[in-house]
Structure 1
Amino acid sequence: MDARLDFFASPTAGKAFKHLMAAGRTLKDSTLPAAVQELVSLRVSQINGCGACLDMHTKEALAAGESPVRLGLVAGWREATVYTEAERAALALAEQGTRVADAGEGVSDEVWDRAAQHFDQEQLTALVLLVSFMNAATRMNIISKQPAGGYEVGAFH
């Protein structure tokens, strides 16, 4: 599969893409636990069907020491016993935040309150920004048909 666009070939697109990636790197430095960040990134990528993001975040999570079992069970997180309550709360928020059109009301108070029980305001802010960032990144990759499989760990750091 060939990509429709090379985001770095256009001065305008390249500049915007670099800023978007810088925002993503800033989130990596937040107090939101790294494991939560990778699980949420994977789940948003799965929901949106973005192979390029799945490739990247799977490889990054494995390189950071995440378990292949936990990564493999992200799509079935509700039935899996390998996630903490905080991780479950983050995954629920990520799902509703990604499927806002399907939910009718966006993120429910129940899902928000559960996340707020596990994360402080700084972490909640990072979580909301991460879900938003991942939805933007996955949509850019899907629209432009970015191929999956060739990501190298650390390429966007």
Structure 2
Amino acid sequence: MEARLNPFASPVLGKVFKHLIAANKSLADSTLPYATQELVRLRASQINGCSACVDMHFKEAVHAGEEATRLNLVAVWREATVFTDAERAALELAEQGSRLADGGGVTDEAWANAAKYYDEEQLAALVGVIALINAFNRGNVMIRQPGGSYQAGQHVQAAAQLSS
């Protein structure tokens, strides 16, 4: 499979992706645990069918020291015993925030549960992570960006390319 277009060669989409990548810097600097951020990105990407993002976030999480067992169980997190209550709350928020078209939006119960484990700034970061990964997912799915060839750290190189 080949992508319909190269986002980094497109002046318009390249600028859009540059801004999305820059927005991720705020999230990286937040107190929301990196492991939680990657679990949420992986789950939203699975829901949205974005093979490029599933590939990227699995490999980035492994590179950062996350256990492959936990990553392999993200799709079935409700039945798995390897996630903390806080991670479960974040994954529920990610699922509801990614499935808006299914109706209902994010329930008060899911929000209140997440608020038991995350302070206001962490909740803000969680919303940001979910919103940004959904934007990346949609762009990548539309251009049919294939998964499988991503190398950990590659996004840092792409961001540098966009900055020049």
TM-score w.r.t. length of structure 1? 0.96
Q: Counterpart in 2 of 1:79?
A: 79
Deviates more, 1:22-31 or 1:35-44: 22-31
Seq. identity, %:
62
Q: Distance in 1 between matches of 2:21 and 2:42?
A: 17
**Misfit runs of 4+, over 3 Å:** none
Partner amino acid for 1:66?
A: E
SS of the residue aligned with 1:156?
A: helix
Give how far 1:55 is off.
Answer: 0.5
SS of the residue aligned with 1:96?
A: helix
- How do 1:137-152 and structure 2 match up within 5 A? 137-152=136-151
TM-score w.r.t. length of structure 2? 0.92
Measured on the aligned residues, the alpha-carbon RMSD in Å equals: 0.9
- How do 1:102-121 and structure 2 match up within 5 A? 102=102, 104-121=103-120
Q: Distance in 2 between matches of 1:79 and 1:10?
A: 42
Give how far 1:25 is off.
Answer: 3.0
Q: Distance in 1 between matches of 2:26 and 2:19?
A: 10
Q: Distance in 2 between matches of 1:75 and 1:34?
A: 18
SS of the residue aligned with 2:146?
A: coil
SS of the residue aligned with 2:125?
A: helix
Partner amino acid for 1:144?
A: I
Structure 1: tracts of 5 or more residues without a match: none
Q: Distance in 2 between matches of 1:124 and 1:149?
A: 31
Q: Distance in 1 between matches of 2:25 and 2:69?
A: 26
